[in-house]
RNA sequence: UGGGGCGUCGCCAAGUGGUAAGGCACCAGACUUUGGAUCUGGCAUUCGUAGGUUCGAUUCCUACCGCCCCAGCCA
């Protein structure tokens, strides 16, 4: 007998996604065709190490690494670490782990914007020399007022026309640590009347006496995103710099620096960020869930973070497939979470070994099966994968079946067990329910007395008679106890949320996003199952051994996703019809 | 009376002058020792609206409507 292997590591069964074209691919193909940059394609994934990556980042990661790979190019991992107050080394490690887990390799191209602080400072000096940047003494509040509004032009700072010498000296004293935080900034001299607010003399450098997780106290002035990002791209000779739509307004500035500094002309291209139904993807909201204890942490299996998806049981292959299928465009969109789940099922169906587990146990006694005896039956490990082989499972007089696989009064189209009805125990025997035992006080069904047909061993009827229902089961004596956590979406479906959405997203939280079941009975082959191993619990869904709380003597499974459930649909339709 | 974007099936998304790909969801049927998987069929006479150009427009032009982003010394 061979135990089902926890799950095949990489079956290489990742779908051959016939990558549909998209506007970014077209631009790149075009550039390659005309030999721009010698036909070279070089992208980068540039997270700020101030939090955990989520599925929205996965879209960007797959896009950047994928597009580069498809063109024989490279993709760098670059940490956009220009704000020491929000960033930590711990996040750097977590991000690297997540990108690796997703299956991407940046080889030795691990960069940090902070590596370029020296060069960036030189460029700032260069701009001052050209008369294109100046030191401003206005306070943050004044700068805001001088900036004007969306519909009114701003006005120029009284410090805007300082001489080059004065600016040089002032910037030097900023850098030397002689000035207090916030007392001065370095600004680009562009156009205070520009329609695009980003061009109204944007701040290039601010004074911040803060320790940086990599450069320590080497600097007390730090460049702003706009003065660091594009130039970092340029330094790394990035050909196509992909970012989300909210940076469209920054592109003129991105290009302004390239022109004024006469540096490598990377091209910024913006695409729509991912939104997923029934979840939140904003860092602020996710943090709120964690801080308020509404989830157990950043890797709570209900979270959309990469670490949570991993813990939940998602495969990297399914996430990559999802990223391919949603495409890339510029229209704001919300992808149905059902697509993500579809990708997951497609992958897991091919590779997850099947196993029997009873989540809400109901005792069944086979009255005509000899007491104290047992036998082994053969069960297929994965009907989708002949290579997976089969295993032996014990059968005996006392079994556990699922509570909801029995009804005292069977509704229409209910194929499962009911008084007098015969069903097939998967890979076992046909059994017939003879008697229902109830708790005398509560009336609750506590045990079923059944008989089995010894001629139907393995689940086949020699006389050819049919049974409509096949149910899963576990032999009581050999069953292993387990805790099972049933997860559902973080938020209720949009049509149930309606108007209250505007007020607070927490009003939309799904109250049933977690249900913990203890006393579940799983088949003996699962004993000692390794963390993160994935299985299909037959007829129920895909489950993954929790990577935090599970141990050999206390198995904990997370429900990754349910199987499609046609019966549930029929039931729902029946309920609605009768209502 | 600001600037920048976007509007193709319930949700994504190709197509961009020659008469609407694909996926998800959904519906129906076949098959089935998972009500799973698989298979078959159905699902936009129409591309935000209204005009115009053209033999012909989702693709070009004009106007309008709707939605998103921008006023951090965050990214």
Provide the CA A331 to C1' B52 distance, Å, integer.
28
- Alpha carbon dihedral A145, A150, A155, A160, in 10-degree steps, equals 80
The residue that minimises its CA distance to C1' of B11 is A336
Output the pLDDT for position A170: 98
Q: Which uninterrupted H or E stretch holds A576?
A: helix A566-578
Closest nucleotide relative to residue A205's CA, C1' based: B73
CATH code 3.30.230.10 for A481-568 = no
Long-range contacts of A165-172 (CB under 8 A, 24+ apart): A166/A135, A167/A128, A167/A133, A167/A134, A167/A135, A168/A125, A168/A128, A168/A129, A170/A135, A171/A124, A171/A125, A171/A128, A171/A135, A171/A205
Alpha-helical regions (H) of A377-526:
494-497
Provide the CA A66 to C1' B16 distance, Å, integer.
26
Residues of chain A with CATH 3.40.50.620: 23-271
Provide the CA A33 to C1' B62 distance, Å, integer.
36
CB neighbours of residue A570 within 10 Å: 14
Residues in chain A: 579
Output the pLDDT for position A1: 42
Note whether A534 and A349 are within 8 A (CB): no
Give A306's contacts (C-beta < 8 A, 6+ positions apart).
Answer: A52, A53, A54, A55, A57, A58, A98, A101, A102, A319
Provide the CA A298 to C1' B31 distance, Å, integer.
44
Output the pLDDT for position A10: 42
Output the pLDDT for position A6: 52
Closest nucleotide relative to residue A411's CA, C1' based: B35
Q: Which fold has domain A275-351?
A: 1.10.1160
Provide the CA A303 to C1' B67 distance, Å, integer.
28
Give A57's contacts (C-beta < 8 A, 6+ positions apart).
Answer: A45, A47, A98, A306
Q: Which two tokens stand for residue A522?
A: 């799983």
Output the pLDDT for position A498: 61
Name which CATH class applies to A23-271: alpha beta
Closest nucleotide relative to residue A139's CA, C1' based: B73
Residues of chain A with CATH 1.10.1160.10: 275-351
Distances (CA, A) of A244 to A135, A154, A367, A368: 31, 27, 66, 67
pLDDT in tens, chain A (579 residues): 445 555 544 444 444 445 789 999 999 999 999 999 999 999 999 999 999 999 999 999 999 999 999 999 999 999 999 999 999 999 999 999 999 999 999 999 999 999 999 999 999 999 999 999 999 999 999 999 999 999 999 999 999 999 999 999 999 999 999 999 999 999 999 999 999 999 999 999 999 999 999 999 999 999 999 999 999 999 999 999 999 999 999 999 999 999 999 999 999 999 999 999 999 999 999 999 999 999 999 999 999 999 999 999 999 999 999 999 999 999 999 999 999 999 999 999 999 999 999 999 999 999 999 999 999 999 999 999 999 999 999 999 999 999 999 999 999 999 999 999 999 999 999 999 999 999 999 999 999 999 999 999 999 999 989 999 999 999 999 999 999 999 999 999 988 876 554 568 899 999 999 999 999 999 999 999 999 999 999 999 999 999 999 999 999 999 999 999 999 999 988 888 887
Catalytic residues of A: 48, 273, 283
Q: What angle (nearest 5°) sits at the alpha carbon of residue A11, between those of residues A546 and A310?
A: 25
DSSP A44-64: EE---SSS--BHHHHHHHHHH
DSSP A229-269: HHHHHHHTT-SEEEEEGGGGGGHHHHHHHHHHHT----EEE
**Pairwise CA distance, residues A516 & A310, whole Å:** 19
Kindly indicate whether the ipTM for this predicted assembly is greater than 0.95, answering yes or no: yes
The pairing of beta strand A357-358 with beta strand A390-396: unpaired
Closest nucleotide relative to residue A145's CA, C1' based: B71
Closest nucleotide relative to residue A466's CA, C1' based: B33
Q: Which fold has domain A357-472?
A: Ribosomal Protein L25; Chain P (2.40.240)
Task: Tell which residue, A318, A244, A309, has the closest CA to residue A279.
Answer: A309
Provide the CA A566 to C1' B29 distance, Å, integer.
15
Nucleic acid strand B: bases within 7 A of protein CB: 2-8, 10-15, 21-27, 33-38, 67-75
Output the pLDDT for position A11: 41
Provide the CA A71 to C1' B44 distance, Å, integer.
35
A366 burial (CB, 10 Å; 0-12 / 13-18 / 19+) is buried
The residue that minimises its CA distance to C1' of B74 is A83
**Pairwise CA distance, residues A438 & A30, whole Å:** 74
Provide the CA A21 to C1' B20 distance, Å, integer.
17
Task: Tell which residue, A11, A343, A81, A41, has the closest CA to residue A228.
Answer: A81
The residue that minimises its CA distance to C1' of B67 is A332
Residues of chain A with CATH 2.40.240.10: 357-472, 481-568
Full-model pTM: 0.95
Closest nucleotide relative to residue A18's CA, C1' based: B22
Question: What burial letters (b/e) apply to A513-547, b meaning 16+ CB within 10 Å?
Answer: bbeeeeebbbbbbbeebebbbbbbbbbbbbbbbbb
């Amino acid at each position: 007998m061979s135990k089902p292997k926890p799950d095949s590591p990489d079956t290489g069964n990742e779908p051959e996604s016939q990558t549909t074209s998209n506007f970014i691919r077209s631009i790149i193909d075009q550039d390659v065709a005309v030999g721009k940059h010698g036909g070279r394609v070089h992208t980068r994934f540039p997270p700020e190490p101030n939090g955990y990556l989520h599925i929205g980042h996965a879209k960007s990661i797959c896009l950047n690494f994928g597009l580069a790979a498809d063109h024989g190019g490279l993709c760098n991992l670059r940490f956009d670490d220009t704000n020491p107050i929000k960033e930590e080394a711990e996040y750097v490690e977590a991000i690297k782990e997540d990108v690796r887990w997703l299956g991407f390799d940046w080889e030795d191209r691990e960069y940090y914007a902070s590596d370029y602080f020296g060069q960036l400072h030189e460029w700032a000096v260069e701009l001052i020399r050209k008369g294109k940047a100046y030191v401003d003494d206005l306070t943050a509040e004044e700068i805001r007022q001088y900036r004007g509004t969306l519909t009114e032009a701003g006005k120029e700072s009284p410090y805007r026309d300082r001489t080059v010498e004065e600016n040089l000296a002032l910037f030097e004293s900023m850098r030397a640590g002689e000035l207090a935080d916030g007392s001065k900034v370095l600004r680009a001299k562009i156009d205070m009347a520009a329609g695009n607010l980003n061009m109204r003399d944007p701040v290039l450098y601010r004074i911040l006496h803060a320790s940086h997780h990599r450069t320590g106290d080497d600097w007390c002035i730090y460049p702003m995103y706009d003065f660091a990002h594009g130039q970092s791209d340029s330094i790394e000779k990035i050909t196509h710099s992909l970012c989300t739509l909210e940076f469209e307004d920054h592109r003129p500035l991105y290009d302004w620096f390239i022109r004024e500094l006469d540096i490598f002309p990377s091209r910024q291209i913006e695409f729509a960020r991912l939104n997923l139904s029934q979840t939140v993807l904003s860092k602020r909201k996710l943090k709120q869930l964690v801080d308020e204890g509404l989830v157990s942490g950043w890797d709570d299996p209900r979270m959309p973070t990469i670490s949570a998806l991993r813990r939940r049981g998602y495969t990297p292959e399914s996430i990559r497939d999802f990223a391919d299928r949603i495409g890339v465009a510029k229209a704001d969109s919300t992808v149905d979470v059902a697509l993500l789940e579809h990708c997951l099922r497609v992958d897991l169906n091919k590779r997850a070994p099947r196993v029997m587990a009873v989540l809400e146990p109901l005792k069944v006694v086979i009255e005509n099966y000899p007491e104290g005896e047992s036998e082994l039956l053969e069960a297929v490990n994965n009907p989708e994968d002949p290579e997976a082989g089969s295993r032996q499972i014990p059968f005996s007089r006392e079994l556990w079946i699922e509570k909801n696989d029995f009804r005292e009064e069977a509704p229409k189209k209910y194929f499962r067990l009911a008084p007098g009805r015969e069903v097939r125990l998967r890979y076992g025997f046909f059994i017939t329910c003879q008697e229902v035992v109830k708790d005398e006080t509560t009336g609750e069904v506590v045990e079923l007395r059944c008989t089995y047909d010894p001629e139907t061993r393995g689940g086949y009827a020699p006389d050819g008679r049919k049974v409509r229902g096949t149910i899963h089961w576990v032999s009581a004596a050999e069953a292993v106890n387990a805790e099972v956590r049933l997860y559902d979406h973080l938020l209720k479906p949009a049509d149930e949320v309606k108007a209250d959405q505007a007020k607070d997203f927490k009003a939309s939280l799904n109250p049933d996003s977690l249900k913990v079941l203890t006393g579940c009975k799983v088949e003996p082959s699962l004993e000692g199952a390794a963390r993160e191993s994935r299985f299909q619990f037959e007829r129920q869904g895909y489950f993954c051994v929790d990577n935090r709380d599970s141990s050999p003597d206390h198995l904990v499974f997370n429900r990754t996703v349910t199987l499609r459930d046609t019966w549930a649909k029929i039931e729902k339709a029946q309920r609605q019809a009768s209502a």
